[in-house]
Amino acid sequence: MILYRILQNLNLREQPTTASPSRGVFAAGLVVQFIQFNDDKTWINVTIKRINGTVIEGWMSAKFLKLVDKEPLTWKLGINMREFAYYGSGADGIQFAPEGLRDQQLATARDLGIRYVRFFASRRSHDTAGTIRQLTKAIDSCRKFNLQAFVCLDDSLTGAQMFMQGNDQFHRGPMGHLTMDYFTSRHYRTTFIPHIKKIVTAFANHPNILLWELGNEMGIYQPEGQPQGIPQTAGSNAYVDFVSESSRAIKDISSTHLVSTGLITTHHVYTQKVPPPTREAFARRLYQVPTIDAVGVHYYRHDKHELLQYINVDIAIARELGKPFYVGEVGGDISGGDRTGFLGDEIAFWKRSGAFTVMPWQLDTSDNDVNIGDTLGIAKRRHPDYDSILARLKTLA
């Protein structure tokens, strides 16, 4: 598949001439699919997928189209802002976060040299149409400040209410996690996939979205009160099926955006106590799904050292498969000592190791406590190390 990006608002013509009737004007940044050149290669016959999912064919001037190459992902610092899309929405729990906070946060991030922002798409209080309305505001802010978004489509946990409607019966695991039967029952086919297809269609090939994450910190969990971490081969296999089906659904709509899983590590979806070669084989099987483009991991200071061995497995497999990797969350509790040093050292280490971004958890620039930070975040109102952390981030951007 050969793709071109539109360089300015451009007419789609019925024939390769400016005198031909227009089939519509399409916005700069949109990606179109190549069919053929005309004889002198001044016009290109293309297909365009509209927001409503229909496909239209016509001719565009080659002068205003640029071939889309898969450019290597070079280092850029990122940041987490979980509730970013829902500021000003009046949503329960963050009802005091004002609409204008989006631009305030992104202005600070831009001035620090941050170029990626990760936030969550879904919220329990909003249906799919409401989710799209909120995401539109968030992506408009990213466009204004020239930042690219990592959009996490759903949350496995319930505490922040950043999960989609329709799955309540499956959020029965520890901390409200989705349980294994969500995957083994294929319930995601009736809730998750229809929901994300509408979201991705609304932002198909939007230039300010870099990556879709399938879900934040999913895992293979039993219901609360039952033994966790026992061998669950059926759950692990079903999770791979979920990833394959969901990522393919995204790519069918939005071929130029990257897709990742949003896992902490593959350990959370492969809990068997087995020798390393078997564990590596599972990670390889998951990440060689052709519609998964990047490998992400999460790491916090309070995590057991054991977690690093699983992170290292995932990163080794990413390198083997030639797929980029990133640290989607990193942080430390305010009570744990020097966070400026910890975050600085972690970011520098992962940058040297080849990560294309590291994303500290979670920036809150508000002057008042609007309930979007926590003890692991970087909050101006709450944390005395706020200024020193931001100064350190700026040196690493």
62 burial (CB, 10 Å; 0-12 / 13-18 / 19+) is middle
pLDDT in tens, 150-178: 999 999 999 999 999 999 999 999 999 99
Contact partners, residue 223, CB within 8 Å, separation at least 6: 172, 173, 179
Point out which residues pair with 48 in neighbouring strands.
Answer: 56
Going by C-alpha positions, the residue among 84, 82, 32 that lies closest to residue 59 is: 32
The interaxial angle of helices 101-112 and 386-396, nearest 10 deg, is: 50
The pLDDT score that the predictor gives to residue 137 is 97
Cα gap 271→256, rounded to integer Å: 33
Report pLDDT for 262. Answer: 98
Query: How many Å apart are CA 393 and CA 387, to the nearest integer?
Result: 10
Are 57 and 338 a contacting pair, CB within 8 Å?
A: no
> What are the pLDDT tens digits along the chain (397 aa)?
688 888 888 999 999 999 999 999 987 777 788 999 999 999 999 998 775 668 899 999 999 998 876 667 899 999 999 999 999 999 999 999 999 999 999 999 999 999 999 999 999 999 999 999 999 999 999 999 999 999 999 999 999 999 999 999 999 999 999 999 999 999 999 999 999 999 999 998 798 999 999 999 999 999 988 887 766 789 999 999 999 999 999 998 988 899 999 999 999 999 777 777 888 999 999 999 989 999 999 999 988 777 899 999 999 999 988 899 999 999 999 999 999 999 999 999 999 999 999 999 999 999 988 888 899 999 999 999 999 999 999 999 9
DSSP 155: B
* pLDDT at position 255: 82
Read off the pLDDT of residues 1-20 as tens digits, 9 standing for 90 and up: 688 888 888 999 999 999 99
CA geometry: angle 279, 258, 165, nearest 5 deg: 85
Res 4: pLDDT: 86
Report residue 112 as tokens: 């620090």
Alpha-carbon span 211 to 300, nearest angstrom: 22
The three-state secondary structure class of 104 is helix
List the beta bridge partners of residue 296.
326
Domains present along the chain, CATH in parentheses? 3-67 (2.30.30.40), 78-396 (3.20.20.80)
Residue from 64, 7, 57 nearest 34 by CA: 57
Provide the pLDDT for residue 277. 81
d(CA 262, CA 328): 7
**pLDDT at 290 (0 to 100):** 87
Token pair, residue 188, equals: 């995601």
- Beta bridge pairs of residue 117: 79, 149
Strand order in the sheet with 295-300: 295-300, 325-331, 358-360
pTM: 0.84
Helix axes of 386-396 and 339-352: crossing angle, nearest 10 degrees: 20
pLDDT of residue 230: 67
Q: Which tokens belong to 90?
A: 């009046």
